[in-house]
Amino acid sequence: MHPITTFSAQIVALPVENIDTDQIVPARYLKTTNKVGLGDAAFADWRWNSDGTPKPDFVLNRPDVQNAQILVAGNNFGCGSSREHAPWALTGAGFKAVISTFFGDIFRSNALKNGLLPIVVDEDTLYQLFSLFEEDPATVVTIDLPNQQLVLPGGQRVGFPLDPFAKHCLINGVDQMGFLLHEDSMIAAYEARHPARVQTV
């Protein structure tokens, strides 16, 4: 994973509550056996007509948001299924961060493993971002990861929580698999103390 520190990007607002993973990527796109090419599947049922033409009134189809890399979404983003295809689709569609008041647990964990930042803000900040976008769709914000701050256009800084380990992994590009593999001797010691509880073969 590439290290992430501070970046600025245009926002796009999707002020819908409880956006579930079936909206982020519908099940029929889950037949793939790799991670690439899911960008067009992001929000597919909101974005495309059944003949594949874009729905003009869906915000992500607007010409002026095509470079947006930060999605600002209503409360509780990413509830539902465990499909990691959801962050794969969002990063495939060019997003680097999603801002909401809270996230589904599995989505948040999956996003962090794919360099997609789930940024938690309070409701006031969320509504402020929605209005900023409404007033000026070209609004750019900065995400300062080392300081855990969101920098709004006027320079206002809003802190966001991030668990220290996730932060460490993001900033240093640490891969969690490598981290776990490194624990091999402790795992072996655990296994020696605890015989397997079940056998599947």
Give 123-154 as a 3 state SS string: HHHHHHHHHHHHHCCCCEEEEECCCCEEECCC
Distance CA 151, CA 78 (A): 24
Lookup result for tokens 């360099």: 115
Asked if 138 interacts with another protein (CB under 8 A), we say no
Asked if 53 interacts with another protein (CB under 8 A), we say no
Q: Of the two residues 61 and 176, which places its CB atom closer to another protein in the complex? A: 176
Q: Of the two residues 56 and 186, which places its CB atom closer to another protein in the complex? A: 186
The strand pair at 97-100 and 70-73 is best described as: parallel
Asked if 124 interacts with another protein (CB under 8 A), we say no
Distance CA 128, CA 131 (A): 5
CA distances in angstroms from 71 to 18, 80, 89, 182, 189, listed in the order given: 14, 19, 13, 35, 44
Distance CA 25, CA 84 (A): 10
Question: Of residues 122, 124, 136, 163, which one binds another protein by CB under 8 A?
Answer: 163
Question: Of residues 8, 30, 64, 124, which one binds another protein by CB under 8 A?
Answer: 30
The strand pair at 140-144 and 6-14 is best described as: antiparallel
Question: Of residues 10, 61, 109, 148, which one binds another protein by CB under 8 A?
Answer: 109
Question: Of residues 3, 5, 6, 17, which one binds another protein by CB under 8 A?
Answer: 17
Asked if 55 interacts with another protein (CB under 8 A), we say no
Q: Of the two residues 154 and 198, which places its CB atom closer to another protein in the complex? A: 198
Taking residues 67 to 86 in sequence order and writing x for each that binds another protein by CB under 8 A, - otherwise, the string is: -------xxx--xxxxxx--
Residue numbers at the binding site for another protein (CB under 8 A): 15-18, 20, 22-23, 26-28, 30-35, 45, 50, 74-76, 79-84, 102-106, 109-110, 113-114, 163-165, 168, 176-177, 179-181, 183-184, 186-187, 190-191, 194, 196-201
